[in-house]
Structure 1
Amino acid sequence: MERIEIPSFVGNSYVIGTSGGPCAFIDAGADAAKMSEAAARHGMTPAAVLLTHHHYDHVSQLEEILDRIGRVDVLIHELEQPLAEEFAVGYTANIEDGETIRVGDALELKAVATPGHTAGMLSFVGHGHVFTGDTLFRESVAGVRAPGHTTFEDLRSSILDTLLELPDETIVVSGHAEPSTIGHERQHNPFVRVWTGVDPEGDEPVVVSLPDDAGEAVDHEVRLVLEARDYDGGTKCWIRWPDGSDDLVPGSRVRRA
C-alpha cells in the first residue's frame, strides 16, 4: 500500500496491490501522474478505482487518471454517483454494502457502509487495513455538515459499531492525515473516549456561528460537549443544540459565550 498525498487538502489517495500484479486505486483526488508512477514503481497494473465517496478532493483527478491508465472499473456507492458526476465522469458500476471486490487473484477488499459524513460513504477492509475515507481520522472524526451528509448518530454508529469492531491491529488509512490503528483510536481518539464513557462529556455554554439558507452567518447558543484537534491543525467541536440533538462543527465557528 502506498499513500499519495494531496497537499492542498491535507488529503490522501492510495495505491494497493501486489508487486508485478494488478492494483487498485483508493480514491482519485491525488495527482494522476503520482498515482500511476507509484503503480509502475512496483510493477503493478492498475485495474480498478474504488471511491469512498463523492466529494471533490476524492474524485477530482479521476478523468486524468483514466486518461493515463486506460478505462478500468470505477466503483462507487449508488447514492454517491450522481453527486460525484458534478466533478468527474467515468464511473462504471455501483458497490453495495458488504460486497467483496476482487482485483486479480491476490487483492480482496470488502466494502462496508459507514454513513454520516455522506449517505453512501464506504470503507474498504482487507489485508490488515481499513480505508476509512472521511469517516475516521487519526484522533479525529468526520464532520456531518458537508454536502450529502446524514447525521451525527449515523457517524457515531459507523465508528463504534462498524469500524471499532475490527481487530485493534487493523491499520486505519483515511482520506486525510497520517495512518493510525483501530487500537490507537480506541484508546486515544477524544470522540471515541467520550462515546465509550472513558472521558466525561463537557457542558460549556458557547456560541456557534453558522450560515442560514441565504448564506448569512447566524449565532446560536449551544453547549460544547467536546473540542478536539482536527486533521488540518484546527479543531472540531461536538456541540449539543437546545433540543438535545448533537452536531459536529469546525472549531473556527465556535466562540466562548
Structure 2
Amino acid sequence: MPLSVQSFVVSPFAENTYVLSSQGEAAIVDPGTASRAERQAVEAYVEAAGLAVRHLLLTHAHIDHVFGCHHFAERYGKAAEHGGWQLHPADAPLLENAVVQGEMFGVRVDPPPPPAHDLAAGDEIALGDVTLRVLHVPGHSPGSVAFYSEADSILVGGDVLFQGSIGRTDLWQGSLDVLLASIRDEVLTLPDATVVYSGHGPKTTVGAERRTNPFLRDL
C-alpha cells in the first residue's frame, strides 16, 4: 500500500503536524499541537483509522514543532520504536531548551522528554511496507532532517522548503548558505514529481519549486 499522509494545521504558528501511515502502522511527525483539542484531533484520527503508532519523528526541534512532544510521548512512547522521539542530535539543544524557546515567543510548552534515538543521514525507517530514508538538510536548524519515500515520491521536509519560499535562517545556528546547499544537494536532486509536504503551508513538488521558487534561481 502507498504511504498515506494526513496533515493537521495547528497552533498559532499554523504548523503542519503529520500522521504518516502504511499497513496499519503510523508515524507522528512534528507534533505542533498546542491545545488539548488539537492533540485530541490527532488521536481521534489514529484511533478511527485503527493505526498502531510505531514511530515518533521530529524533522527539527523549533518550538512550533514540539508543543505536543510531552503528550504524545506519554500516549504512544512505550509502544513506539526506541521508546520515544527520534531527532538528529544537532537539534538536541533546541529540544532541551523548548521551554526557553516558548518564553521567547510568549507561549507555554510542556517540557518535552529527551530524544530517545538519534537520527542520521541515510537511516532507513520502516513503516508498514514503506521505507523512509532520512536526509540531513541543515540550515534552518543544524539538525534539520527530511523523510523521503522514494517508492511513493513523497518528501516530508519540515521547514526546509515551502511553496514559493524557504525556511527562515535567523534563528539559533541558522545559515542561509547552508540551507541553500542542503536544498541544492538533497532536495533538488530528487525527481521533479516528488511531492513535498512542508512544515507550514500547502504541499508542493520539487519540479514546481525548481521552476518558480525565487530563492532557488541560482542553484
Please give the range of the TM-score, normalised by the shorter of the 2 chains.
Answer: 0.7 to 0.9
1:29 maps to which of 17, 27, 32: 32
Superposition deviation, residue 147 in structure 1: 2.0
Contact (CA 8 Å) 1:50, 1:76: kept in 2 or not? yes
2:117 maps to which of 88, 93, 98: 93
User: What CA distance in whole angstroms lies between the structure 2 residues aligned with 1:96 and 1:70?
Assistant: 20
Superposition deviation, residue 32 in structure 1: 2.0
Q: Counterpart of 1:9 in 2: which secondary structure?
A: coil
Larger RCO (CA under 8 A, 6+ residues apart):
2
Contact (CA 8 Å) 1:138, 1:177: kept in 2 or not? yes
2:141 aligns with 118
Cα gap change, 1:18 to 1:175, in 2 (>3 Å): same
Cα gap change, 1:90 to 1:43, in 2 (>3 Å): farther
1:17 maps to which of 6, 15, 21: 21
1:222 aligns with none
User: What CA distance in whole angstroms lies between the structure 2 residues aligned with 1:66 and 1:34?
Assistant: 16
> Cα RMSD (Å) of the superposition?
1.5
User: What CA distance in whole angstroms lies between the structure 1 residues aligned with 2:130 and 2:93?
Assistant: 28
1:154 aligns with 178
1:55 maps to which of 50, 55, 62: 62
User: What CA distance in whole angstroms lies between the structure 2 residues aligned with 1:6 and 1:165?
Assistant: 30
Alignment of 1:190-209 (within 5 A): 190-192=214-216, 194-196=217-219
User: Which protein has the bigger strand share?
Assistant: 1
Measured against aligned partners, the alpha-carbon deviations of 1:184-238 in whole angstroms (never above 9, x if no partner) come to 111111111x224xxxxxxxxxxxxxxxxxxxxxxxxxxxxxxxxxxxxxxxxxx
Q: Counterpart of 1:15 in 2: which secondary structure?
A: strand
The structure whose Rg is larger is 1
Superposition deviation, residue 26 in structure 1: 1.2
User: What CA distance in whole angstroms lies between the structure 1 residues aligned with 2:179 and 2:28?
Assistant: 25
Matched AA of 1:29: G
In structure 2, runs of 5+ residues without a counterpart are 99-111
The number of residues matched between the two structures is 192
Identity across the alignment (%): 29
1:76 aligns with 87
Contact (CA 8 Å) 1:32, 1:68: kept in 2 or not? no
User: What CA distance in whole angstroms lies between the structure 2 residues aligned with 1:96 and 1:80?
Assistant: 12
Q: Counterpart of 2:181 in 1: which secondary structure?
A: helix
1:171 maps to which of 176, 195, 203: 195
Contact (CA 8 Å) 2:73, 2:113: kept in 1 or not? no
Matched AA of 1:160: R
